[in-house]
Chain A
Amino acid sequence: QVTLRESGPALVKATETLTLTCTFSGFSLTTSGMCVSWIRQPPGKALEWLARIDWDDDKYYSLSLKTRLNISKDTSKNQVVLMMTDMDPADTAMYYCVRFSVSPTKAFDHWGQGTLITVSS
């Protein structure tokens, strides 16, 4: 059974750096084809993809946010960490940790429940 769980501070201040941790089980990020992404959703708005890290440590970032993001993994702990710098109230959103498998689905096939991050000014 695949599960993902996000953790992080519920509240951050503007200009601070957000650090989110995804702890997962039921698969390994050392397995070829396995990837983990972060996706966010501001209240009442659409989904926005942020970043992805692959089993071979390849990394991909949203073009609009790449200067602020850093994604990393600790395979021994089954964790993926996302850091986002210079937070702004516009970054207030639900942040989801999501598995992306290159095979068979080539899609986001398992989602965490999400963690709500509020940015205060």
Chain B
Amino acid sequence: QSVLTQPPSVSAAPGQKVTISCSGSSSNIGNNYVSWYQQLPGTAPQLIIFDDDKRPSGIPDRFSGSKSGTSATLGITGLQTGDEAKYYCGTWDTRLGGLNWVFGGGTSLTVL
């Protein structure tokens, strides 16, 4: 059971837009920056969003991030078949006075 809650799967047609939610609490998302990772089949994850809404160089602006309260959202527009992957959100959790990084359970994106 992950500390951050993501939907197991989402799907949309090529060219369409999809959003992936990540729900947490005040001990994690509510008070810490969220990052998002894309894991293509058989490969290591890749950072696609950091500091809630910033994109590393090389990540297309079709990918966007936002946060409100204790929830974060990843948006992908102009879907391509190459976007089919598993997406993870993550952030620090500061319960129990420590620093503990937590990931969501991951969301599989299918581009129909």
Contacts and interface: CB of A to CB of B under 8 A. Distances in A.
Most chain A CB neighbours (cut-off 10 Å) among B90, B100, B101 = B101
Contacts of A112: 44
Given A62-B100, A63-B98, A108 B47 contact: yes
Contact of A111 (B46, B54, B96): B46
Which of B45, B46, B99: most chain A CB closer than 10 A? B45
Nearest to A47: B103
Interface size grouping (class) on chain B: 20 to 34
A60 B90 CA distance: 16
B104 A46 contact: yes
Given A46-B105, A47-B106, A109 B56 contact: yes
Interface of B: 2, 33, 35, 37, 44-47, 50-51, 54, 56, 88, 90, 96, 98-106
